[in-house]
Amino acid sequence: MKSKFIPLIFILIFIITFVIFYKGLKNPNIYTPSTNLEKEVPPFELKSFENDSIIISEKIFKNNDYYLMNIWASWCIPCKVEHEFLMKLKNNEKIKLIGLNYKDNFKNASSFLNDLGNPYDLIVSDRDGTASIEWGAYGVPESFLIYQSKIIKRFIGPINNEDLLEIQKLIR
């Protein structure tokens, strides 16, 4: 009697384990951050990219203007891909582009901008990455559309043509 009962227990344990793993595979727990937000712009004091002057966020973001805060780096391949779309945005007078240079070497970043063009109205340096963390960035590139000192849209990854059209639609 005992010898018939033991294999039955192993089969039951196997079935229960299989069901648990199967359900776990069908329900991935991948976190995707929200791209539509109404969050205040995180305050910062960062060095200017061009010189050692301090840039304060409260003096940059004026109430009735649109801004695109773009986190970028010269070593970032997707940043090179999105650069052409940022250059197109540069021509739009309704939006100002703010570059947040992330953990980058000044010489390499300057070379990047000299080679591809500078779409930014202002660039600040985030040499240790803390400002990017305060913005809630997951990596580079990442962009935040700002209006009235609030983040109204987040773009994770490189900006593409679809994102460009969405930005242009939102700032009309």
Domain limits for position 70:
39-170
- Backbone dihedral angles phi then psi of residue 22, each to the nearest 5 degrees: -65, -45
Q: What is the pTM of this model?
A: 0.78
- Does residue 19 belong to any structural domain of this protein? no
Would you state the torsion angle of the CA atoms of residues 105, 111, 113, 117, taken in this order, to the nearest 10 degrees? -170
- Whether 108 maps to a domain, the answer reads yes
Provide DSSP, 118-130: ---SEEEEESSSH
In a domain, 88, yes or no: yes
Please check whether residue 50 lies inside any domain of the structure.
Answer: yes
CATH code assigned at 64: 3.40.30.10
Residue 89 lies in a domain: yes
Task: Per residue of the chain (172 residues), give pLDDT as tens.
Answer: 567 778 888 888 889 888 888 877 776 665 455 555 678 888 899 999 988 899 998 888 877 889 999 999 999 999 999 999 999 999 999 999 999 999 999 999 999 999 999 999 999 999 999 999 999 898 899 999 999 989 999 999 999 999 999 999 999 8
Q: Which helix (H) or strand (E) holds 9?
A: helix 2-26
Question: Token pair of 34, please?
Answer: 């929200």
- Say if 18 falls within a structural domain: no
- CA 67 – CA 125 distance, rounded (Å): 17
User: What domain count does the chain have?
Assistant: 1
In a domain, 34, yes or no: no
Q: Can you name the residues that pair with 45 across neighbouring β-strands?
A: 56
Tell me if 9 is assigned to some domain.
no
Residue among 153, 152, 149, 150 at smallest CA distance from 163: 153
pLDDT at 33: 54
Strand 150-156 and strand 39-40: the pairing is: antiparallel
